[in-house]
């Protein structure tokens, strides 16, 4: 069978999720190629060597520029923080390597557009890491909407609620630095519910938002470790330069209206991503922390039977679910990465467009930027 040699940049949160997915794809799906964990890239030699051993990579590197030029890798998988995505992706496209890049695709819509255009003209396959599109229960929501079961859509209500920085002494990790992350809750987690809204109900027309930073200064740490921030404090304080919460309203081209709330200050909510969609014939509701389930309300049920029913999206007819276990044997977060990696492999092998691709990543950045502009200008902004 065909082999695809992976060159993965980054080995922490997303690096672990992606490299785990490489191993699982062919175990459960009949993909047209299998992924070889060929080379891993990070900045610290000791740490990247240890990660390469642990994750089963054949080799490792500490310089991403020479790494991308290696002729023994077929695709570059970018899981570094957002400020590095563009430079890395542009070089990979120049080298005609296929690219998988984490979200948000770039720091600005302008950069994201440059990435999309250059990947497109290089003729490579490009995919962006909106992994929630690959949850079987969310695919079921899409199927019900596409089949017209919800009728005309009136409302999209999206929430992405976390609480990992509620403690004011939580240190100044890279996600709180605008120069590295681009934005806070906005680009990190609003990006996911924006993409889901587009995936499920279509394109945005206009937006109006607000953002808030509750804790403006935090302890500086000498080293950090993604969301867990295990670094040692230097004793100094530094400025938080991103939003802690980002909330906006939207109108869709279809005429539907939406509300979006992303926050890292929803005390008690760890990864509370949820949405509800209401249409003329029914509604659906999804909550990530119960990701195998979709709630569906059918307005044509006789009134004495009406109510939301809970569907366990674990049957073989549920997209991606059938590849795993018998019905009712539930799947989890890591499976979303296996599904997206399977999709990426199939796009490379078939030469067809990946979905979601850099154009989707760019449109998401355009919506994020439009919300920022609406805050600056104090009114509605067309997307």
Ligand X SMILES: NC(=O)c1ccc[n+]([C@@H]2O[C@H](COP(=O)([O-])OP(=O)(O)OC[C@H]3O[C@@H](n4cnc5c(N)ncnc54)[C@H](O)[C@@H]3O)[C@@H](O)[C@H]2O)c1
- What is the contact surface with ligand X in residues (CB under 6 A)? 9-15, 41-43, 64, 79-82, 84, 102-103, 129, 131, 188, 226
Contact at 8 Å (CB) between 291 and 332? yes
Burial string for 185-224 (b: 16+ CB within 10 Å, else e) reads: bbbbbbbbbbbbbbbbbeebbbbbbebebebeebbbbeeb
Taking residue 330's Cβ as centre, other Cβ atoms within 10 Å add up to: 17
| Residue 202 vs 226, nearer CB to ligand X | 226
Phi/psi region, residue 96 (left: phi>0; alpha: psi -120 to 50; beta: rest), is left
| Residue 140 vs 364, nearer CB to ligand X | 364
Q: Which residues pair with 41 in a beta bridge?
A: 9, 61
Residues 6+ apart with CB under 8 A from 368: 104, 109, 183, 186, 187, 190, 191, 194
Burial of 4 (0-12, 13-18, 19+ CB in 10 A): buried
Element (H, E) at 121: helix 109-122
In the complex, least distance from residue 48 CB atom to ligand X, rounded to whole angstroms:
8
| Residue 130 vs 296, nearer CB to ligand X | 130
- By C-alpha distance, which of 327, 259, 342, 324 is closest to 293? 327
In the complex, least distance from residue 369 CB atom to ligand X, rounded to whole angstroms:
16
Distance CA 54, CA 164 (A): 27
In the complex, least distance from residue 168 CB atom to ligand X, rounded to whole angstroms:
21
Q: DSSP letters of 75-116? A: EEEE-S-GGGHHHHHHHHHHTT-EEEEPSS--SSHHHHHHHH
In the complex, least distance from residue 188 CB atom to ligand X, rounded to whole angstroms:
6
In the complex, least distance from residue 207 CB atom to ligand X, rounded to whole angstroms:
21
| Residue 76 vs 313, nearer CB to ligand X | 76
| Residue 41 vs 381, nearer CB to ligand X | 41
In the complex, least distance from residue 309 CB atom to ligand X, rounded to whole angstroms:
28
| Residue 151 vs 226, nearer CB to ligand X | 226
| Residue 187 vs 282, nearer CB to ligand X | 187
Distance CA 191, CA 201 (A): 15
In the complex, least distance from residue 101 CB atom to ligand X, rounded to whole angstroms:
8
| Residue 82 vs 162, nearer CB to ligand X | 82
Q: Is the peptide bond before 65 cis (omega within 30 degrees of 0)?
A: no
Distance CA 10, CA 41 (A): 6
Distance CA 171, CA 173 (A): 6
| Residue 85 vs 98, nearer CB to ligand X | 85
């Amino acid at each position: 069978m065909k082999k695809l040699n992976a060159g993965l940049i980054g080995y922490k949160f997303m690096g672990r999720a992606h490299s785990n997915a490489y191993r699982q794809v062919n175990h459960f799906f009949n993909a047209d190629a299998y992924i070889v964990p060929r080379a891993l890239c990070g900045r610290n030699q000791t740490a990247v060597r240890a990660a390469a051993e642990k994750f089963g990579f054949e080799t490792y590197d500490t310089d991403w520029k020479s790494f991308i030029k290696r002729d023994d890798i077929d695709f570059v998988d970018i899981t570094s923080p957002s400020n590095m995505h563009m430079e890395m992706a542009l070089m990979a496209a120049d080298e005609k390597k296929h690219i998988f890049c984490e979200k948000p695709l770039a720091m600005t819509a302008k950069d994201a557009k440059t990435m999309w255009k250059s990947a497109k003209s290089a003729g490579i396959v490009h995919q962006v890491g909106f992994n929630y599109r690959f949850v079987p229960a969310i695919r079921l929501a899409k199927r019900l909407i596409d089949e017209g079961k919800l009728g005309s859509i009136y409302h999209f209500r999206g929430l992405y609620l976390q609480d990992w920085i509620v403690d004011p002494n939580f240190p100044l990790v890279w996600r709180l630095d605008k120069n590295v992350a681009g934005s806070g809750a906005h680009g990190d987690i609003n990006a996911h519910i924006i993409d889901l809204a587009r995936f499920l109900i279509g394109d945005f027309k206009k937006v109006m938002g607000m953002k808030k930073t509750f804790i403006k200064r935090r302890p500086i740490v000498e080293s950090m470790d993604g969301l867990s921030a295990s670094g040692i404090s230097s004793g100094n304080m530094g400025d938080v330069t991103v939003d802690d919460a980002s909330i906006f309203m939207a109108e869709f081209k279809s005429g539907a209206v939406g509300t979006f709330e992303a926050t890292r200050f929803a005390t008690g909510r760890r990864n509370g991503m949820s949405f509800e969609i209401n249409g003329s014939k029914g509604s659906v509701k999804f909550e990530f922390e119960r990701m195998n389930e979709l709630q569906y309300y059918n307005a044509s049920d006789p009134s004495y039977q009406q109510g939301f029913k809970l569907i366990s999206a674990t049957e073989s007819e549920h997209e991606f679910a059938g590849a795993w276990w018998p019905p009712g044997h539930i799947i989890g977060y890591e499976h979303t990465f296996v599904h997206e990696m399977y999709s990426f492999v199939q796009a490379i092998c078939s030469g067809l467009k990946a979905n979601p691709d850099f154009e989707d990543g760019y449109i998401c950045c355009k919506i994020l930027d439009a919300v920022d502009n609406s805050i600056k200008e104090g009114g509605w902004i067309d997307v």
